Amino acid sequence: MSDLGRVLRIDARRTALFLAVPALAFLGAVAAWRALLPGVAYWDDAVAALFSSVCLLGPASAGFAAWVALREHRLDYLRGLTARSPALGPLLDLLLLGIVTLCAYTVVAVVVAAKTMIHVEAGHPKPIGPLAGALTLLVYTVLGYLAGRVVPRLPTVPVVAVLTYLWGAVRPGAWADLLPPPGIGHIGLFAALRTELLAGQALWAFGLGTVLVTGYLWALTRHVWLALPAVAAAGVVTGTTLWLHGQQRTPPVVPRAFSYACRQWPLTVCVHPALRAALPSLEAGLTPLATRLSGTPGRFVRVEHRPDNDFPRPGRGVVYIHLGDLSPGYAHRAEQEIDISLLDARTCGDPRHAAGAHYSALVSAWLLDEAPPRITDTVAADDFARWDEQRRRRWLRAHYARYRTCTLRGRDFRVR
Amino acid sequence: MIVNSSAIVARGLGIRRRRRWILRPTTVEMAYGVVGLAAPAGPARSAVLQTLATLRHASVGELEVLGQDVTRRAGRRAVRARIGLLPARFAWTSGLSTRDFVAYASYYKCTPRRAVDAILERFGLSDAAALEMDMLPQDLRLRAGIAAACAHEPELVFLDEPLAGIGDSEREELIPLLRALAPAVVVTAADPAELSGWCDQGLSMVRGRLVEAPCVPRPRARVPAGV
């Protein structure tokens, strides 16, 4: 082993780097896992989950780097009084910290990628996303280390961790949300991250990291040539900041081209391909509802999955559902959504039709195979409960208009 | 003007910290030989030592160390390879052997790794080379610290209260070693009495100033021979 290798090994032992990797990786993996949507996986949301992990992993890395700087400061009597460059010690520290941070991040990225690949995935991997996350994480590490070097006091460690956490959690303005790590939350199934935005964020993080490192090296060595990369990096940071500021009016996501995954019989149910696994459950769950509504104006033969912000009016035998994930109960939630879309929200929300709304709720419970609600007109409720399936369907065909507008009356249930 | 007979020349040297003078502007010369600096333990004494060792910037004044103007970067850079410093309660790596600790220091001191055994031999650490630093008794740990700080055979060595907590018999063995570390050795102690008898020049920190203090040279007969 070379002399430098031995020194790096000793520094790694000094700073407990071998313990830091699994600890940081665990923290980041938990944060990323919590950010992933249950039951589905697609690459853009995987990138968003990675950014979520950076929001937690970054402050932890920054605090750890500050602690390492604090410990290394105590060895300045050996490392500072040297014939070698005064930048050598800090550069070796940053190298080790960078390796630790990237190892932990790689573990997180592998966990996220594995989860994405195990489930039905949609979209395509975008390497620029993980790259932007990695560069952002390195900026956190450099910031923490420099803070520890400049103010080598124990309180620096928690202060750095808290301040960097606040940077990820609270942004001063809407446009600053675009700066790394971006607060993009979940990416909807029908949306995709803008690649150019990710590239801008990666460039911004790279520029800031370069400014910090070269600036610190200049403070240590006063080498004039360091001004060149420092100024160039400062230019990159300024340019990308202005560019990101200009992007605030454009949504950070764009609609994603896709083609539906459908199941044709007995109903046609079409969903986003990422939810292909849900087709059998949806088919099984929605067919009884379609059967009960057959012969009424609310009948439907096709179910379409739509983006969260897209609510077309159901009609001509087509109804729409909105599913963000496949968390337990999703098929029933789809049924409920269809049932609600059948009702006239304006009349059903009218207090004058409160009684009618109760009768409609009674019918909806039957349509959705739910337990009937308690209503004041127990006679009507008992009558409806006594009817067999065929009689109820006939009754609904006759009273669908009143059901839809929540204008049912008690006597509507006393039909002989 | 550089005074050739002095290892350190400070003119109007002052150190401030948080708007308070740690060292009021002082002019002082430290000659080659052993200079004893008596000052209470604490951040003020550490700051003075770090400033003289070029690890900290002086707030005011001029400082020449080994003939180099260390208020300038070039002078600092040139002189750092010729200085050794061992702080009070110096840091080491837990779980590291004495040999690895000295080897670690040697890398930064640009001393070849093959010289490590000779350094250990010089400081009487050959038998303790494989022992962990944490396991060493205090006097051997001090020897290991000095070996690390002086791996490059510096011309000027700063030792911050090296003999604190050392027993009398070990102390008698260590003093000749400390005297022979370098042409110029600056050693501190909280109690001036600890320095008297073996330093060539005495200084005290009085009300934030460095002032000359009498230092009675140690009789040669009390130094054990062959150590």
Transcribe B174-216 into DSSP letters: HHHHHHTS-SEEEEEESSHHHHTTT-SEEEEEETTEEEEE--P
DSSP A320-381: EE--S---TTHHHHHHHHHHHHHS-HHHHT-GGGHHHHHHHHHHHHHHTT-PPPP-S-HHHH
| Candidates A77, A84, A86; nearest CB to B90 | A77
Report the candidate in A294, A292, A286 with the shortest Cα–Cα distance to residue A269. Answer: A286
Q: Which of residues 199-238 of A touch B (CB under 8 A)?
A: 222
Candidates A67, A141, A71, A63; CA nearest to A99 is A141
Q: Which helix (H) or strand (E) holds B22?
A: strand B20-31
Write down which residue in A339, A374, A393 finishes a domain: A339
Q: Please, what is the angle between helix A43-73 and helix A128-150, to 10°?
A: 20
Same domain, A304 and A395: no
A138 in the same domain as A71: yes
Give A 309-348 residues with CB within 8 A of chain B. Answer: none
Interface touch B55/A77, C-beta < 8 Å? yes
CB contact under 8 A, A83 and B80: yes
Selected for mutation to probe chain A from B51, B108, B119, B142 (highest A CB count within 10 Å) is B108
pLDDT of residue B2: 43
Q: Tens place of pLDDT for every residue, chain B, 227 residues?
A: 444 578 999 999 999 988 889 899 989 999 899 999 999 888 888 899 999 999 888 999 999 999 999 988 888 888 998 999 999 888 887 778 999 999 999 999 888 888 899 999 999 899 999 999 888 998 999 999 999 999 999 999 999 999 888 888 888 888 989 988 999 999 999 888 888 788 888 899 888 888 888 765 555 444 443 33
Q: Distance between CA A16 and CA A10 in Å, rounded?
A: 10
B93–A contact, CB cutoff 8 A? yes
**Closest chain B C-alpha to A52 CA, distance in angstroms:** 35
Query: Is A276 in the same domain as A250?
Result: no
Side chain identity, residue A53:
S
Q: Do residues B87 and A77 touch, judged by C-beta distance below 8 A? A: yes
Residue B81 has its nearest CB partner, among A74, A83, A88, at A83
A110 and A185 in a single domain? The answer is yes
Q: Which residue of B has its CA nearest to A11?
A: B93
Report the C-alpha gap between A218 and B55 in whole angstroms.
17
A142 shares a domain with A206: yes
Residues of B in contact with A81 (CB under 8 A): 53-55, 80-81, 83-85, 109
Residue B1: predicted pLDDT:
42
pLDDT reported for residue A347 = 82
Q: Helices A3-14 and A17-35 meet at what angle, rounded to 10?
A: 60
- Work out the burial of residue A73: count CB atoms within 10 Å of its CB; fewer than 13 is exposed, 13-18 middle, 19 or more buried: middle
CA distance B146 to chain A (A): 11
Beta bridge partners of B158: B85, B186
Last residue of a domain, one of A255, A290, A313: A255
Domain boundary among A255, A284, A319: A255
User: How far away is chain B from the Cα of A4, in angstroms, using its nearest Cα?
Assistant: 8
* Nearest residue to B156 via CA among B52, B57, B69: B52
Same domain? A200 vs A52: yes
Query: Is there a contact between A6 and B104 if contact means CB atoms under 8 Å apart?
Result: yes
Which pairing describes strands A268-271 and B83-86: parallel, antiparallel, or unpaired?
Answer: unpaired
Cβ–Cβ under 8 Å, residues A44 and A36: no
Note whether B178 and B159 are within 8 A (CB).
Answer: yes
User: pLDDT, tens digit, for every residue of B93-104?
Assistant: 777 899 999 999
pLDDT tens-digit readout, B43-82: 888 899 999 999 888 999 999 999 999 988 888 888 998 9
Nearest Cα of chain A lies from the Cα of B217 at a distance, in angstroms, of 29
- Nearest Cα residue in chain B from A83: B81
Residue numbers in B near A71 (CB within 8 A): 91
Give B122's DSSP letter: H
Nearest to residue A61, comparing CAs of A31, A100, A12? A100
pLDDT of residue A191: 78
Asked if B148 is an interface residue toward chain A (Cβ–Cβ < 8 A), one would say yes
How confident is the model at residue B222, as a pLDDT? 44
Contact A219, A266 (CB under 8 A): no
Token output for B226: 């062959």
How far apart CA A302 and CA A235 sit, in angstroms, is 55
Domain count, chain A: 3
**Residue that is written with structure tokens 């907590």 in the block:** B165
Q: What are phi and psi of B133, to 5 degrees?
A: -60, -35
- Read off the pLDDT of residues B119-133 as tens digits, 9 standing for 90 and up: 999 998 999 999 998
B159 touches chain A (CB under 8 A): no
Q: Centre a 10 Å sphere on the Cβ of residue B106 and count the other Cβ atoms it contains.
A: 24
Q: Please determine, for the modelled complex, whether the ipTM score is greater than 0.90.
A: no
Domain span at residue A370 reads: 343-416
Buried-exposed string B53-63: b where 16+ CB fall within 10 A, e elsewhere? bbbbebeebeb
Do the chains contact at A78 and B105, CB–CB below 8 Å?
yes
Q: Measure the CA–CA gap between B7 and B186, rounded to whole angstroms.
A: 10
Residues of A in contact with B86 (CB under 8 A): 77
Sign, CA torsion B171/B175/B181/B186 = positive
Could you tell me which chain A residue has the CA closest to the CA of B52?
A: A81
To the nearest whole Å, the CA of B104 is away from the closest chain A CA by: 6
CA distance B81 to chain A (A): 4
One domain, residues A245 and A101:
yes
Residues A129 and A246 in one domain: yes
Same domain, A143 and A221: yes
pLDDT tens string for chain A (416 positions)? 688 888 888 888 777 777 899 999 999 999 988 888 776 677 888 888 999 899 999 999 999 999 999 988 888 888 888 888 888 989 999 999 999 999 999 999 999 988 888 876 666 788 898 999 999 999 999 999 999 999 999 999 999 999 999 988 887 667 777 888 877 777 777 777 888 889 999 999 999 999 999 999 998 888 889 999 999 999 999 999 999 888 877 777 777 777 888 888 888 889 888 788 888 888 888 888 888 888 888 888 888 888 877 777 777 788 888 887 777 888 888 888 888 888 887 888 778 877 788 888 888 888 888 887 887 878 888 888 888 888 888 888 888 888 888 888 877 777 65
User: A309 and A221, same structural domain?
Assistant: no
What residues in B contact A13, CB-CB < 8 Å? 93, 95-96
Please say whether the beta carbons of A230 and A214 come within 8 A.
yes
Q: What's the rounded Cα separation, in Å, for the pair B42 and B17? A: 13
Query: Do residue A92 and residue A166 come from a single domain?
Result: yes
Residue given tokens 């010369």 in the structure block: B29
| Chain-chain contact of A82 with B80 (C-beta, under 8 angstroms) | yes
- Indicate whether A15 and A151 sit together in one domain: yes
